[in-house]
Structure 1
Amino acid sequence: MKPLRYVINLWSSFGTVAIISKVWEKYFINKYRFRLNCNRIVPEFPIRQKPYDFLHNTKSFIQDKPINICYLIHCFFPDKNGGTEQFVLNLAKEQQRLGNHVRILTLGNHELKFYSKQYKDIFFNDFQFEGLDVTQFRYRHIPRGYYYDEIYNNEPNMAAFAAMYLDKYKVNLVHAVYPQPFATFLGVCLKQCIPYVITTTDFNIICHYATLVDKRGQFCKHSRKGERCEECCKTYGLKDPRTRYHRASDLLQRAEFVTAPSEFVARVLESEFQQVSVTVVPHGISSVFSCFKKREQTKRFSYVGILSELKGVHLLISVFMRLDDSRLSLDIYGDGEQNYINRLKNMAENDSRIKFHGGVSSSHIVKVYQNSDCVVIPSLWFETYNFVLREALACGCLVIASNIGAMPEPIYEGENGFLFTPGNDEELFQKLQASLHFNWSLYRTSSFPVPKQEGERYALIYAHALKSKTKEFSEDVSK
């Protein structure tokens, strides 16, 4: 889409005030929130009492009969290809392999003429992506704060669309991987006795910024049921943070299962929503990510992922340039906002060792890891899983990562990587130097669940969710 048409489309979709609000948030508030010269204190979340997990006691999965599964996600391929999108892609393919019927419902923001169908005030298209049935939809005029800020539990257009969609495709079970924009949809599921599962891959269910980083750049430990959100730069898109909190809590409590990809996310959710029990199901890492040769020295550093402020790429470049060794290299793979990319390139323009490669295809990413010695992940926020970290470890790389969120979980300090305080340039410099002297003969290899195992674990969750909802429905009928 050409720039002018793109701006016109955004304006017609969101409205003038919403666009001004988002520009202010992105280019002024966020620049301050993710600044380098900020002394951030990483909070500790309580260790949870792990509930009984039936998943660990099942050695194999036997599918009784096919079910019709609908996945709900805010963005999907080919428009966006982040970690959450990859999770849904892998999981949907595994469910198809198990014999289930799968559909993916996702938001879009193309021009109205891009969509060939309309129901009420919702425009949509059906298409296929890598053998999966996908429906992408958009509103004529998007409700205020719909994508991230507000949680609408009774939006009439979505309610009508959901009833039509669930009936047309005879959906048995819904898996919401980004539940906030689909609160009304999930409400319709409840009315029709269709069970739903929720997976949280970031913290938007708690924080309308999704990062748990407040307007001062400090990490947030608890929303205090939305009270603290009122103090944290309430945006145009969010009218009442306390109402948002209670709607989020209701969504989670009504789910048959709430899952998370890491123990850290489970701890945060259970600390915030104390009536919710979370099941941890790690994302599957494809077996193509493997170590084909052992390194002997650390010379080739890489960054792989989105180029944005909260990923801390600017910190990595500034610290790497302090390493005085012409034999070293830093390869940066990824796309992002052009203004930020230009800033990074300006920082690195006098250092020929730093190269920008743009986005990398899924078919090439394995070679990127295998040609790297050390992958650096300098995130400034609570990463909830991070595919790059685990893929790099599976390929035999050292990993240097911020000591925050779920990233420490697979790292053994000094054995397969190093951790540093997020945003601390001196600590990162020390860890880069430590990696240069790493004894590769002592490297500790890593292994992770593969997508097949992840898919079978979710199939078990679906089976239990359906059984529970059927029992509940039978009890209601008998009363």
Structure 2
Amino acid sequence: MRLLYVANGFPPAALGGVEIHTWEIARAMARRGHAVWVFCRESDFQRPDYELIREEVDGLSILRVVNDFKQTHHFLHTYVDERMEEIFLQVLQETRPDLIHFQHLIGLSARLPCRARPLRIPMLMTLHDFWPLCHRVHLLNRWGQPCPGPFQGGDCVACVRGPRPTSRLHSLLRAIKPWLPAPLVSRIMRRIGGAALSSWAEADQRGFQARHALFREALMCCALLMAPSDFVREVFRRNNITQPEIRVLPLGILPPDSEVVPEPGERNTLRIGYIGWFRPPKGVHLLIQAFRRIPDEGVSLHLFGPIDESYPYFRRLRGLGGEDPRIVFRGPFALEDRSQIYRSIDLLVIPSISPETFSRVAREALIHRVPVVASRIGALPEVVRDGVNGFLFEPGDVEGLSQILQRIVRCPSILKELDVPGPAQILSVEDHVQALEQMYREVLSVGD
């Protein structure tokens, strides 16, 4: 088969969950003898938007299109991009795929499936998150509360537009934004928040009705939709996305690196870990607050993830950590060091306040025999079973999380009594790809 994967980014430039998953399945499909291309968005403020970059990564043909929304001034253009669509059609003419698998369309254009449909190329899409329903992606509104979705009572207009800034500084910045250098705009947006520079007057009720209709049309262009968890499928179903069929296929996880040697003997301290982005929906501030309530010196907190000292939320985390020497910001790590990192911690905490759609890190930790403490939200309870392979607490409950951690610190043997990885099904990448390949053949046979 000639396969084209479409994603919002691709390693090594982008290392989020969707990007890593796309990299893993693209490589696996190439090993199985399929011809594979990847079409993705690239962030690069040193290049002009829409520059097409061609390269080979792990034997795969990667076509990266730069898009940093440098000249975006209209709400519609945050999710529809005609120039990106034209580049995509040129790529389709060049690669002539038998099948297109959309992983994510953010940063590209939500209309790509609609533009490809006249070419009669079978298409599938994996619903990795809620961007087709939620302009803020995570179904977490601007007030930090989980949202049921636009067709279940969510107020998209108030959430996205919010209170309009009235200060002279905000007004001035919005007025001069079109003439500011793109790197400067990026730095300002990181410091004071993108909403301050974006006055989406068009994001009214009619604007969101048009957005919902367009995304629904794009999903209808696909022969099949896939969800990584039961939770994701149910959220889309409750929000009127019932066609095409949505099948649950958990993402694949690479097995532990057998060449990594576990640390010898018993460590003097209990090491608690966090792995992920330092962003408000991830609830890292709750973890630090809960950890600071532990008086014991024989415990440490190791936080792994991309560090951006200019980002207000990260500066807040630094402040919450104070001068506590037990809290260490370790930064990101290379994919090949993953097994070593998991084997360096005794417990992983996932303190999310927004609904997790799958949680790769939870499964990675469990297959490395690391118990997990997680928020009881989204898809996390599907893999973390309270008292079985880890512990659950209510999202946002600092005291509840702290009590769990203090109980473990007082009696670390609790961790050895857990059944890790536990009863939840955790697919390998090869298991996932095998099931995916069967779906591809099924979709192609229907089109014959």
Please report the TM-score for the alignment, with normalisation by the length of structure 1. Answer: 0.76
Q: Which residue of 404, 410, 417 maps to 1:431?
A: 404
How many angstroms apart in 1 are the aligned matches of 2:270 and 2:67? 50
Q: Residue in 2 aligned with 1:222?
A: 149
Whole-angstrom CA distance in 2 between matches of 1:145 and 1:252? 26
* Partner SS state of residue 438, structure 2: helix
| Structure 2 residue corresponding to 1:309, chosen from 280, 296, 299 | 280
Q: How far is the alpha carbon of 1:416 from its aligned partner?
A: 1.3
1:456 aligned to which of 431, 434, 447: 434
Aligned to 1:444: 419
Whether 1:396 and 2:330 are equivalent positions in the alignment is no
Correspondence list, 1:23-102, <5 A: 67-102=1-36
Alpha-carbon distance change, 266 to 125 in structure 1, aligned in 2, over 3 angstroms: same
Structure 2: 5+ residue stretches without partners: 162-197
- The alignment status of 1:419 with 2:392, answered yes or no, reads yes
CA distance in 1, matches of 2:13, 2:199: 26
C-alpha distance in 2 between matches for 1:188 and 1:105: 15
| Displacement of 1:143 | 6.6
Rounded to whole Å, the distance in 1 between the matches of 2:74 and 2:443 is 28
Q: 1:141 to 1:336 in 2, by over 3 A?
A: closer
How do 1:143-182 and structure 2 match up within 5 A?
144=72, 150-152=78-80, 156-180=82-106, 181-182=108-109
Give the distance between the partners of 2:75 and 2:10, measured in 1 at CA. 14
Q: CA deviation at 1:139?
A: 5.7
Alignment match, 1:133: 61
| Alignment match, 2:224 | 257
Structure 1 pair 107/147, CA: closer, same or farther in 2 (3 Å)? farther
C-alpha separation in 2, matches of 1:217 and 1:230: 16
Alpha-carbon spacing, 1:123–1:432, altered in 2? closer, same or farther (3 Å): same
Corresponding residue pairs, total: 396
Structure 2 residue identity aligned to 1:256:
A
State the partner residue of 1:278. 246
- Distance, in Å, in 1 between the alignment partners of 2:125 and 2:101 is 6
How far residue 227 of structure 1 moved from its aligned partner, in angstroms, is: 7.4
Structure 1 pair 190–321 and aligned structure 2 pair: CA distance change class (3 A): same
Partner amino acid for 1:443? L
Amino acid at match of 1:384: T
> Relative to 1, partners in 2 of residues 1:394 and 1:145: Cα closer, same or farther, differing over 3 Å?
farther
Equivalent residue number for residue 231 of structure 1? 158
Could you say if the C-alpha distance between residues 204 and 126 of structure 1 is closer, same or farther in structure 2, counting changes exceeding 3 Å? same
SS in 2 for 1:439: helix
Counterpart in the other structure of 1:327? 298
What does residue 41 of structure 2 align with?
A: 107
* Cα offset, 1:223, TM superposition: 0.2
Residues 125 and 440 of structure 1: CA distance in aligned 2, closer, same or farther (over 3 Å): closer
Superposed CA deviations along residues 353-376 of structure 1, whole A, max 9, x for unmatched, are 111211111122211211211111
Deviations 1:405-459 (A, max 9, x none): 1111111211211111111111111111233335344321226211011111111
Any conservation in 2 of the 1:225–1:245 contact (CA below 8 Å)? no
Separation in 2, partners of 1:225, 1:271: 7
Following superposition, the deviation at residue 308 of structure 1 comes to 1.6
Superposed CA deviations along residues 232-289 of structure 1, whole A, max 9, x for unmatched, are 2336456311111111111112211100111111111111134333111111111126
Distance in structure 2 (CA, Å) of the matches to 1:270 and 1:285: 26
Q: How far apart are the structure 2 equivalents of 1:99 and 1:355? A: 44
Root mean square deviation, CA, Å: 2.7
Alpha-carbon separation, structure 2, partners of 1:320 and 1:149: 42
In the alignment, the residues of structure 1 paired with residue 261 and residue 234 of structure 2 have an alpha-carbon distance, to the nearest angstrom, of 36
Distance 1:126 1:461 in 2: 29
The yes-or-no answer on 1:466 pairing with 2:444 is yes
CA gap 1:218/1:361 in 2 versus in 1, 3 angstroms: same
SS at 2:110 equivalent: helix
Q: Does 1 or 2 have the higher relative contact order (CA < 8 Å, sep 6+)? A: 1
Q: Percent identity?
A: 27
- Matched residue of 2:316: which SS? helix
State the Cα distance separating 1:292 from its structure 2 match: 7.6
In the superposition, relative to structure 1, how do residues 226 and 459 fare at CA in structure 2: closer, same or farther (>3 Å)? farther
- Partner SS for 1:205: coil
Kindly provide the CA deviation profile for residues 192-221 of structure 1, in whole angstroms up to 9, marking residues without a partner as x: 000111111111111000011123322111
Farther off after superposition, 401-410 or 329-338: 329-338
Write the distance in 2 (CA, Å) between the matches of 1:77 and 1:146: 30
Match for residue 349 of structure 1 among 322, 331, 354: 322
Hey, what's the Cα distance between the residues in 2 that align with 1:203 and 1:289? 32
| CA distance in structure 2 between the partners assigned to 1:389 and 1:457 by the alignment | 22
Partners of 1:464 and 1:145 in 2: CA distance: 42
- Tell me the equivalent position of 1:477: none
Letter of the structure 2 residue corresponding to residue 467 of structure 1:
S
Contact 1:103 1:134 in 2 (8 A): yes
- Residue in structure 2 matching 1:384, options 357, 370, 375: 357
Q: Deviations over 1:325-373 (max 9, x none)?
A: 1111111111143233333223223211111211111122211211211
